[in-house]
């Protein structure tokens, strides 16, 4: 088969995972994970540390062999997929410290070279290096030795390397760990640009709720080795108790009511209670509330409250 042939056979499901299990000795890290990622989606795999996010993404990347279950990524089983499949994926990790003596420009040109045989008329590969440097905002640093880059610049280079082959699917594993808020904001803008640019499908892991909410079209919450929730930030919030909380005071007493339809409830409340109702307050359930309730509502969830979570409002 000619490299690139498979590009034409695009289907709408990019990732398909069914009853995925992973055991290390007697310890079962993944106890049956099911989800799908469709073409062009940005999906966040969210969960506390140790929930199995990295294990899951490494199985999808083809870097780890699963114990059992069905996994299809871009139409192939990553455990068996070859180099042509590899050319259609991109990987960005948090721990890379490689090529300290190279310059970003040189490294991108070199690594881009591997994708040249996989280019097609619709998807010329690799990415033009100049364009790529501009896209990730490394312009003034492109000719510095990589060892001299800051953490945020380094990660932007990692993203540039991840997409130099114009991947159909990009994996981002904890992409903003250790970033300051400014670098994090810039990185989020970059991910939005990527997903708009080529319609690249992006699967990222994070333990940062704010990040998941900002970046992802859809959030998968992984807890205790299984997906406990799957939906947009709004849908997830609605799955729990009610979408909103209404608080008010009447006759010297404080009241709280959770409801799916705050407007209707308040209309009725005012109609019935009249002038007696004071201090009326409607608060939407935040993703954070949802997350806490989902992760800790799980049977056997032993995670100490909030200890392993990064809660950024």
Partner 1 sequence: MTSVGAHAVGLGLRRGWYEFAQSLRSAQDQGFYLFTGLVALGYLVLNRDDRVAGTGLLEPTVTLPSLLGAFVVFGAVVGPGYALAMAREDGTLLRYKTAPHGLLAYFTGQLVTQALAVVPQLLVLLVPSFLLFDVMAGGADGWLTLAWVLALGLLATLPIGMIIGALVPSTQRMGTWGMLPILVLTGISGILFPVQELWGWVQVVAQAFPTYWIGLGMRSAFLPDAAAALEIGGSWRTAQTVLVLSAWAVVGALLTPIVLRRMARRQSGSQVERARQAAVQWIR
Contacts of 91 (CB under 8 A, 6+ apart): 61, 162, 170, 171, 173
Query: Among residues 16, 21, 69, 114, which is the contact residue for partner 1, using CB under 8 A?
Result: 114
Query: Site mask, partner 1, residues 93-112, x = CB under 8 A?
Result: xxxxxxxxxx---x---xx-
Q: Which pair of tokens denotes residue 35? A: 């989800």
- Only segment of 16-24, 42-50, 53-61, 245-253 that touches partner 1 (CB under 8 A): 53-61
Strand pairing class (218-223; 42-46): parallel
- Only segment of 5-13, 24-32, 54-62, 231-239 that touches partner 1 (CB under 8 A): 54-62
The percent helix, strand, coil of the chain (3-state, each to 5) is: 35, 30, 35
Is 115 a residue that touches partner 1 (CB under 8 A)?
yes
Is 90 a residue that touches partner 1 (CB under 8 A)?
yes
Measuring CA to CA, which residue among 210, 167, 156 is closest to residue 44?
A: 210
Query: Site mask, partner 1, residues 207-246, x = CB under 8 A?
Result: ----------------------------------------
Question: From the CB of 111, what's the least distance to partner 1, in Å?
Answer: 6
- Only segment of 16-24, 86-94, 235-243, 292-300 that touches partner 1 (CB under 8 A): 86-94
Strand order in the sheet with 13-24: 27-38, 13-24, 68-73
Query: Among residues 87, 228, 236, 266, which is the contact residue for partner 1, using CB under 8 A?
Result: 87
- Residue 239, sorted as left (phi over 0), alpha (psi -120 to 50) or beta, turns out to be alpha
Looking at the Cβ atoms of 114 and 255, the one nearer to partner 1 is: 114
Question: From the CB of 253, what's the least distance to partner 1, in Å?
Answer: 54
Q: What whole-number distance in Å separates Cα of residue 70 and Cα of residue 19?
A: 7
| CB-neighbour burial class of residue 249 (10 A; exposed 0-12, middle 13-18, buried 19+) | middle
Question: From the CB of 131, what's the least distance to partner 1, in Å?
Answer: 19
Q: What whole-number distance in Å separates Cα of residue 293 and Cα of residue 267?
A: 28
Looking at the Cβ atoms of 161 and 236, the one nearer to partner 1 is: 161
Question: From the CB of 252, what's the least distance to partner 1, in Å?
Answer: 57
Measuring CA to CA, which residue among 95, 100, 98 is closest to residue 178?
A: 95
Show the DSSP H helices in 147-286 as ranges: 151-163, 181-197, 209-215, 233-239, 262-273
| CB-neighbour burial class of residue 24 (10 A; exposed 0-12, middle 13-18, buried 19+) | exposed
| CB-CB contact of 21 with 182 (8 Å) | no
Is 127 a residue that touches partner 1 (CB under 8 A)?
no
Query: Among residues 72, 89, 224, 290, which is the contact residue for partner 1, using CB under 8 A?
Result: 89
Looking at the Cβ atoms of 163 and 221, the one nearer to partner 1 is: 163
Looking at the Cβ atoms of 81 and 183, the one nearer to partner 1 is: 81
Residues of this chain, 128-187, that bind partner 1 according to CB under 8 A: 161-162, 165, 173
Is 265 a residue that touches partner 1 (CB under 8 A)?
no
Residues that bind partner 1 (CB under 8 A): 3, 54-55, 58, 61, 63-64, 83-84, 86-87, 89-91, 93-102, 106, 110-111, 113-118, 161-162, 165, 173
């Amino acid at each position: 088969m000619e490299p690139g042939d498979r590009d034409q056979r695009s289907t709408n499901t990019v990732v398909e995972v069914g009853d995925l299990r992973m055991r290390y000795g007697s310890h079962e890290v993944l106890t049956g994970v099911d989800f799908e990622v469709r073409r062009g989606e940005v999906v966040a795999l969210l969960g506390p540390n140790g929930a199995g996010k990295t294990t899951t993404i490494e199985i999808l990347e083809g870097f780890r062999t699963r114990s059992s279950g069905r996994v299809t990524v871009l139409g192939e089983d990553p455990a068996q997929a070859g180099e042509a499949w590899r050319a259609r994926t991109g990987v960005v990790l948090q721990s890379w410290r490689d090529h300290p003596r190279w310059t970003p420009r040189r490294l991108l040109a070199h690594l881009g070279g591997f994708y040249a045989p996989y280019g097609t008329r619709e998807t010329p590969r690799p990415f033009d290096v100049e364009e790529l440097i501009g896209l990730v905002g490394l312009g003034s640093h492109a000719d510095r030795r990589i060892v001299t880059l800051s953490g945020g610049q380094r990660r932007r280079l990692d993203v540039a390397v991840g997409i130099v082959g114009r991947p159909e699917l990009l994996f981002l594993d904890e992409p903003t760990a250790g970033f300051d808020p400014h670098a994090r904001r810039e990185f989020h803008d970059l991910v939005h640009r990527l997903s708009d640019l080529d319609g690249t499908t992006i699967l990222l892991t994070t333990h940062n709720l704010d990040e998941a909410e900002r970046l992802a079209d859809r959030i998968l919450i992984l807890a205790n080795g299984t997906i406990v929730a799957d939906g947009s930030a709004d849908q997830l919030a609605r799955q729990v108790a009610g979408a909103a909380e209404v608080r008010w005071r009447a006759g010297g007493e404080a009241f709280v009511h959770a409801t799916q339809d705050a407007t209707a409830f308040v209309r009725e409340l005012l109609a019935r209670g009249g002038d007696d109702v004071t201090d009326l307050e409607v608060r939407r359930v935040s993703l954070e509330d949802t997350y806490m309730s989902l992760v800790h509502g799980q049977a056997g969830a032993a995670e100490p409250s909030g200890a392993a979570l990064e809660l950024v409002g």
